[in-house]
Amino acid sequence: MKKLLVLISSVVLIFLIGLVSLNSHSVQDRILNTGLKNILAGVEPFLDKEDSLKVVVCGSRSPLPSPGRAEACILVEAGDDIYIFDLGNGSMDNLTQYQVPWPNVKAVLITHMHSDHIADLPDAHLQSWVQGRNSTLMVYGPEGINLVTQGFELAYSADYQYRNEHHGDDMLPMTIAGFNPIQIMDNQLIPNNTPGLEILPFVVDHHPVNSAFGFKISYKGRTVVISGDTIHDGSVQKYSKDVDLLVHSAISIDLVERMREIAPLPQLNKILFDIQDYHTTIKEAGEISRDANVKHLLIYHAIPTPRNKIMEDVFFRPLVGVFDSYTLSDDGTRVIMPVGSDEVIIDQIN
Ligand SMILES: [Zn+2]
Ligand SMILES: [Zn+2]
């Protein structure tokens, strides 16, 4: 009994000392400095020594809200060079947190011009400007991409001016403020200076979006296909033959129908009905992967994005007996495909 009392008093004493110390400025300063150092140090997931084709999901969700996830964004690193496919809302926060070295970002590529794929373009413009971009930001996109970038330039013209005046011409020169939009053409390789890299855009069907693309990326024998948003029209399957990784968007009709039944607003009911006709179902994504002999299927832009294990299980039910080498991506999911091997390594960088 006495021993127990001594033990309890010691624990209470240690707790009180801790509490008092936390109020001391010197202890606070030390803890804060360590925290700030960790924030600035970041996670440095990029530019490791091993030559590989890497995919980092910088935005895993569809427009339907899902806390803690950004909208569509896929980063591809081939050797030391980085290409970013889509920049949905929240993706720039992720890219900043991942400490992406913007001088290594050779281009931004937009699959199509739905808002959930382009919303963070202005922040990418600012971040790359601050990190010493030496020309306007190169953005590949479908027909009309120039109108998107011109619109952003107009909306941000005062912002460009303010920042230039505040930080000076040496740091943020007006001569390179703005974008360099380049229209993507079906089946025409994206020009690049990364040794061993090919980026091939192909048209997909996301009607009524008049121009939408998927991409096949090949680097020294490793391959990945990004579907963008599309129905199953055969294109993704055609370009995915024997690829190491298929990054595919997918809809669960089952979950969307369940949500529609309980939708509190008629507008939401209608949207949940309308979106069913221009996305690939999760079952189709599995069948594409099976029939194209894909090594691994990485689901992103899931509609809706599962929020827990039960929802995830229901989302993937249609894949039972169809295809089992799949992963539901989160923000920060990374896939490493080392050159000269057939390994597909999946981990999480945050
Ligand atoms: Zn989308
Ligand atoms: Zn879309």
Q: In angstroms, what is the span from residue 75 Cα to ligand 1's centroid?
A: 16
Least distant ligand from the CA of 251: 1
| Over residues 237-246, mean pLDDT | 98
Q: What are phi and psi of 75, to 5 degrees?
A: -100, 135
**Residues 55-60, mean pLDDT to the nearest whole number:** 98
The structural domains of the chain, with segments of one domain joined by +, span 2-39, 48-348
Residues in the chain, how many? 350
Which of 45-59, 153-167, 169-183 is predicted least confidently? 45-59
Can you give the pLDDT at residue 42?
A: 52
Q: How far is the CA of 302 from the centre of ligand 1 (A)?
A: 9
| Average per-residue pLDDT for the chain | 92
What are 193-206's pLDDT values in tens digits? Answer: 999 999 999 999 99
Instruction: Please state the pTM of the whole predicted model.
Output: 0.89
Measured in Å, residue 349 CA sits from the centre of ligand 2 at: 26
Cα-to-centroid distance, 124 and ligand 1 (Å): 19
Q: What is the mean pLDDT of residues 110-117?
A: 98
* pLDDT value, residue 350: 73
Counting residues of the chain whose pLDDT is more than 70, the rounded percentage is 91
Q: What is the CATH number of domain 48-348?
A: 3.60.15.10
pLDDT, tens digit, for every residue of 317-341?
A: 999 999 999 999 999 999 999 999 9
- Residue 72 CA to ligand 1 centre (angstroms): 7
The total of other beta-carbon atoms located within 10 Å of residue 36's CB is 10
The pLDDT value recorded for residue 12 is: 67
183 C-alpha vs ligand 2 centroid, how far in Å? 18
Cβ-based neighbours of 256, under 8 Å, separated by 6 or more: 272, 275, 276, 303, 304
- pLDDT cut 90: percent of the chain above it: 81
Ligand nearest to the CA of 274: 2
Query: Which of 38-42, 77-81, 103-107 bottoms out in mean pLDDT, i.e. has the lowest?
Result: 38-42
Structure tokens at 62: 């569809």
Give per-residue pLDDT as tens, 166-192: 999 999 999 999 999 999 999 999 999
Whole-number Å distance, alpha carbon 135 to ligand 1 midpoint, is: 29
Count of alpha carbons within 13 Å of 245, Cβ hemisphere only? 33
**Residue 22: what pLDDT?**
72
53 Cα: distance to centroid of ligand 1 (angstroms): 24
**Encoded tokens for 305:** 């994005």
Cα-to-centroid distance, 345 and ligand 1 (Å): 26
CB distance 214 to 228 below 8 Å: yes
d(CA 207, ligand 2 centre) in Å: 9
Lowest-pLDDT range, 220-224, 225-229, 256-260? Answer: 256-260
pLDDT, position 29: 81
